[in-house]
A = this chain, B = another copy of it.
Amino acid sequence: MAITSLKLQKRPYLSATEDFALGKDSPRAFLERCLELMAAIEPEVMAFEATDLDGARAAADAATGRWEAGHPLSPIDGMPIGVKDIIETGDMPTGMGSPLFDGYQPRHDAASVRALREAGAAVVGKTVTTEFAATEPGKTRNPFDTTRTPGGSSSGSAAAVGSGMLSAALGTQVVGSIVRPSSYCGVYGFKPSLGAINRGGSLDILSQSVQGVLAASLEDAWGVAYAAASRCGGDPGYDGLIGSAALPSARKPKRLAMLETPGWDVAEDGAKAALLGAVETLAKAGIEIVTRKQDKDIDQMERALVEALDLTRRINAYESRWPLNVFHDQDSSKLSKAMRDRLAQSIMIKPEQHRDALRRRGMIRAQHAALADRFDACITLSATGPAPKGMLTGDPVFAVPGSMLAVPAISLPVFDIGGMPLGLQVLGFMGQDAAAVGIAGGLLNILHAPI
């Protein structure tokens, strides 16, 4: 049954720097409104695996005091957030979306979780993930139509934010796990550059996997990502998220590349029409938008992206050998068939084949990086259409290029396809997250998100 009352209405928006600072709202009052909504709709949406409402209330109270005293810990002090259930928490179990981890209580908070608590965030609960953040779906349903998937693997994070139960939630993406559910649930999805947020204490070990944020606004997405990265750093050896605490200023880009990606062949007509409509609006606003038909570099990029999904799956399979092997040793009956298949595939891949795949990926990344000389960013769809019916998490074809390229990818919930949300995706350049978010803000100013 659809929760029609939520459909494309304005969702709660934590304007911490404004309403909290002005004393017009408080973190505790805000949290209580979120929890009221949660009590009403969570039985249908099923976005959470575990909650700690007492802990969240205590954090919100402490933040309320700090805002009243004029000394918040960060712009997101007191923000109610969720944590994808493959990211460890010292005070709540972490189930990894697998019966193998039923009741598993980690010893400590993951790096990003500890950092967000240090910034004052109120951690409300653990959000549902697919099995080990791969394909086997969890229980969560799409808040815009509960007969549809919320997308995966950050299913609960997307549904909790999309339904207004949280301002933001941590997610992870290695194929399409932030951008796709963000699109399906009408939230702002921010998958930063590879390595931008320290993944310590998460199951999320693959070489193109990254932590990111699903949020009720672009400001919240950036604010949470920056609050985490500035306190826990990036992945070891990486620059970490570069920028400052405030949302990067919205900026109208001069020239964008419009990528079809291999998704164009399978996208729904309505989705393609929505993107082409947006392109027309942006062009009218004076932005030059270039496609593969007009430009040889873009055409060559499109040709390379044909490999993105296959290359990604092979690299992920090989790099999943451990820990899948130990899970298999422990109790293979508790792995889904998809996981057992991935393990079987991983064992067939020879080290030299894996090295070839890594080299090919590196070449495509370099090819993409060279586009930065001529384009401010790339745009494309976030998904082939609105969330499909059923529980399968949908096609990641539009999201996987950003994962493979290791670049910032932002899903903006600007399209409405028959009452269901769909995202426009902005792809920036590696390490230039603030620029990408600024451009996303500039496009939002022109396109006027309906939500």
Tell yes or no: A139 within 8 A of B by CB.
no
Task: Report the minimum CB–CB distance from A86 to chain B (whole Å).
Answer: 15
Chain B residues with Cβ below 8 Å from A205 are 200, 236
Q: Is B326 within 8 A of A114, CB to CB? A: yes
Write out the residue numbers on chain B whose beta carbons fall within 8 Å of the beta carbon of A307: none
Interface stretch, picked from A316-324, A332-340, A366-374, A390-398, is A316-324
Interface size class of A (residues with CB under 8 A): 35 or more
Within the assembled complex, what's the spacing in Å between the Cα atoms of A237 and B239?
17
Judging by beta carbons under 8 Å apart, are A108 and B326 in contact? yes
Q: How many of these chains are in the complex?
A: 2
Q: A240 an interface residue at 8 Å Cβ cutoff?
A: yes
What are 20 contact pairs spanning A and B, CB under 8 A? A90-B326, A108-B326, A108-B327, A108-B330, A111-B323, A114-B322, A115-B322, A200-B205, A200-B322, A201-B322, A201-B323, A207-B237, A229-B351, A232-B321, A232-B325, A233-B318, A233-B322, A233-B351, A238-B358, A242-B351
A232 proximity list for chain B (CB < 8 A): 321-322, 325
Q: B-facing mask of A235-253, CB < 8 A → 1, else 0?
A: 0111110100000000000
Q: A200-B205, A239-B358, A240-B355 are in contact. Are A233 and B330 (CB under 8 A)?
A: no
> A230 on the interface (CB 8 Å rule)?
yes
Q: A202-246: contact bitstring with B at CB < 8 Å (1 yes, 0 no)?
A: 000111100000000000000000000110110011111010000
Cα of A207 to Cα of B238 in the assembled complex, Å: 8
Q: A-side interface residues toward B, CB under 8 Å?
A: 90, 104, 107-111, 114-115, 198, 200-201, 205-208, 229-230, 232-233, 236-240, 242, 318-319, 321-323, 325-327, 329-330, 351, 354-355, 358
The minimal Cβ–Cβ distance linking A226 to chain B, given in whole angstroms, is 10
A419 → chain B, closest Cβ, in Å? 41
A205 to B233, CA, bound (A): 13
CB distance from A135 to the nearest CB of B (A): 19
B236-A206 in contact (CB<8A): yes
Q: Complex: how many Å from CA A229 to CA B326?
A: 16
